[in-house]
Amino acid sequence: MGRMLTIEGLRLATRRHGAPVELVRGLDLSVSAGAVTALVGASGCGKSLTCLGIQDCLPSGVTRLAGRVAVDGQVKAGLELRGRLVATVMQNPRSAFNPVLSMRAHALETLKAAGRQGPDSDKRILAAFAEAGLDEPARILALYPFQMSGGMLQRVMIALALLSEAPFLIADEPTTDLDLVLQAHVLDLIERLVARHGLGVLLITHDMGVVARAARTVAVMESGQIVERGDVHDIFTEPRHAATQALVAAHLALYPEEQVA
Ligand SMILES: Nc1ncnc2c1ncn2[C@@H]1O[C@H](COP(=O)(O)OP(=O)(O)OP(=O)(O)O)[C@@H](O)[C@H]1O
């Protein structure tokens, strides 16, 4: 059986006006190797917090009340997961880079954090950058974040994920800030990496077009809970929960030609 990332009973909360408010309310989810699992839902339903909660790097003011994250059945702490078992690609790549570090320095840090630094580091960095579709990787390694476009930075994030050799990738709205052509490139790239390296991807999005294009299974979230899950085809053809029906209807209203038979 392939590798599996499992999240069980994740509960995240904050305090408002002195009273506790649960933002993620007992979420169970699994991500299989070699496939893309989409976590979808309207803005504010808790997708990003779930992604941060899995890795135990929550923003201040939000705490984890309960929940376990396991890889292949073994419970893991955030520190063991981050960068070693789970790599991340985020919506706004610019905010993920240190403005005073070159791409090479970022890549070396990634290797160090993953415990994979060695005499062949530079060779591996060049290979990962090339695989992420960055032309002239040797030139790009010398660049700083401000010298690069959002699309290039997104590819570097994916290259860094590859370098870490983490078996799982959490991609939080990886295409939202990109134009349509770059969106397609990034989704193509993720699909290739899933096929070639057997990555297990948790793709967080509110865009059902991205879901239809990239995901095998889908979990639909509303108000901090998963309200429906299923195969991507079933989600589009027979959505059962009102939240799923609303997401599918909104998508088909925009793209009626994508009506699934
Ligand atoms: N640091 C924080 N402190 C308190 N509440 C927060 C914090 N971050 C997020 N929230 C609240 O948690 C809820 C879920 O937020 P989250 O960012 O996970 O939503 P989302 O589904 O990812 O939305 P979007 O698609 O807009 O990114 C929202 O009600 C949000 O206001």
| pLDDT attached to residue 6 | 97
**pLDDT for 182:** 81
Tell me the CA–centroid distance for residue 200 and ligand 1, in Å: 24
Reply yes or no on whether the pLDDT at 260 is more than 70.
no
Residues 37-47 as b or e (16 or more Cβ within 10 Å = b): bbbbbeeebbb
List pLDDT tens digits, range 186-245: 899 899 889 999 999 999 998 899 999 999 999 999 999 999 999 999 999 999 999 999
Q: Mind listing the pLDDT tens digit for each residue in 105-147?
A: 999 999 998 888 899 999 999 999 998 989 899 999 999 999 9
Q: Atom 29 in ligand 1: which residue has the minimum CA distance?
A: 44
Of ligand 1's listed atoms, the one at least distance from the Cα of 51 is: 18
Q: Verify whether ligand 1 is closer than 6 Å to residue 40 (CB atom).
A: no
Which domains are assigned to the chain? 4-258 (3.40.50.300)
Sheet holding 86-89, edge to edge: 86-89, 168-172, 200-205, 35-40, 217-222, 225-231
Task: Give the number of the atom of ligand 1 that is nearest the alpha carbon of residue 14.
Answer: 4
Cα(66) to ligand 1 centroid in Å equals 18
- Stated length of the chain: 261
* Percent with pLDDT over 90 in the chain: 71
Ligand 1 atom nearest to CA at 16? 4
Q: Span 56-83, mean pLDDT?
A: 93
What percent of the chain has pLDDT above 70?
A: 98
pLDDT of residue 3: 92
Contacts of 70 (CB under 8 A, 6+ apart): 5, 6, 8, 76
